Chain A
Amino acid sequence: MLHRFANPARFSRIAARVLPWSATLTGLLFIAGIYFALFVSPADYQQGDTVRIMYVHVPSAWMAMACYTFIAAMSAISLIWKHLLADIAARAAAPLGAGFTVIVLTTGSLWGKPTWGTWWVWDARLTSVLVLFFLYLGHIALTHAFDNPQRGARAAAVLALVGFVNIPIIKFSVDWWNTLHQPASLTRLDRPAIDPAMLTPLLLMGLAFMAYFVTMLLIRMRADLNAARARALQLSAAE
């Protein structure tokens, strides 16, 4: 399974076939999600319309963590099997994850001002997400710090695995410490503590963010592969 996709040419072919579909799906999910979030779902009885920020905030938080987990998994594959595509996938995913982290931090801040009365508090959830942002920046910087791109990819892979300790800290920070940030309402053993009218747009937006991630990842990976090919052709033309 893993080695079937190891071939960059085959990957490019599959990616080219999947891309139009995933791009269309992203568009449809975003239209449906935004429609439900802005027009169908009710305003909160306490927070009013600011609750709608959640429909962007929560999916981007999920993706910020999922993307780091994805990078860590790709890094493990890259270190164990020396898989070329895993390196490219990790390199392509890092700026996306950093982008999701910026979105979650800014939307959280915008929501925090009217609701908590402050742009920022040093609570465990917020602080650990901020640390995640710097882990992404470190990963991106390390990837590009070497003349030999492969060395950069391998070093970044080790860093991604070391930094992975932060992901459980983010996830459980609301349970371990008494934070201002509210605990999880969806991933609980009993029923989700959220009304179906608000759950629908949230899940739609979550799926939209995920489809967006897949689409952008495929585009970036293809661009990376094409750039490598262009470089190789340039070198062979120069000889």
Chain B
Amino acid sequence: MIGFSILVRRDLRLAFRGGTDAMMGVIFFVLAAILFPFGVGPDAAVLPRIGGGIIWVVALLAALLSLERMFAADHEDGSLDLLYLSPVSLGQLALAKAFAHWLTSGVLLLIASPVLALLYNLPSAAFLPLVATMALGTPTLSLVGAIGAALTLGARRGGVLLALLLLPLYIPVLIFGAGAIDGAIAGRDITPQLMVLGGFLLAALALAPWATAAALRQAIE
């Protein structure tokens, strides 16, 4: 457990010392979401209808942006090999990395999403569901993303490859995340969607570090 918190703190320090790097994901998130009203027109009837889905899609893409660097920097300077030799297990390392990634991307997206909801004129009934689905969904994105980041370690054209591998796996989170917001706007009970998202999170929490560790082992050996 001590190893876990040391790893998380190290990653957070690296992320925030890097200055603007951590903010890039959020800036992309807001900017990409702002493009849609230009594309489909600022119709006040259309935007609330599609807003929840767009915010979720853009959140998936924003989460992808910083994933490529999750293990790459440690792999290049050799610290990944040292971490492999350290008493911290690879599964724990994967969990710590995913948690740090979530703190530097998912949480920021979570904070920024109500602003986007305002821009899209989402009804006030959708705000809490939006934040709740983001809170349950974005950790899953980081956990599953860690698998992809470990698999593409050292690959040619890793970034595009990462998107190809991960976006299909992100679709279930997108379906239930956006579905919950639509349901809330229509006045339906969204407990089922939240429970499914929570189920995804628990499953990812249990299985993803394990798969990430398997992928990391292939990359290091």
Binding site for B on A (CB under 8 A): 79, 127, 131, 134-135, 137-138, 141-142, 145-147, 151, 154-155, 158-159, 161-163, 166
Contact = CB atoms under 8 A, between A and B. Distances in A.
Contacts of A147: 156
Contact of A158 (B155, B168, B214): B214
A205 B46 CA distance: 48
Contacts of B59: none
B161 interface: yes
Interface string B158-179: 1001001101110100000000
A178 to B, nearest CB: 15
Nearest to B171: A131
Identify the 10 closest CB pairs spanning chains A and B, nearest first.
A145-B155, A154-B218, A134-B168, A138-B165, A155-B151, A131-B168, A138-B164, A158-B215, A158-B214, A145-B161
B219 A151 contact: yes
Contacts, number: 56
18 contacts: A127-B171, A134-B167, A138-B164, A142-B161, A145-B152, A145-B157, A146-B154, A147-B156, A151-B154, A151-B218, A151-B219, A155-B215, A158-B211, A158-B214, A158-B215, A158-B218, A162-B147, A163-B169
A142 B156 contact: no
Contact of B155 (A127, A142, A163): A142
Contacts of A141: 161, 164-165
A133 to B, nearest CB: 9
B37 to A, nearest CB: 23
Given A138-B164, A145-B157, A145-B161, A162 B169 contact: yes
Contacts of B165: 138, 141-142, 159
A142 B153 CA distance: 11
Nearest to A145: B155
B182 to A, nearest CB: 14
Contacts of B154: 146, 151
A79 B152 CA distance: 17
B214 A79 contact: yes
Nearest to A136: B168
Contacts of B158: 145
A151 B147 CA distance: 15
A181 B158 CA distance: 36
Contacts of A155: 151-152, 155, 215, 218-219
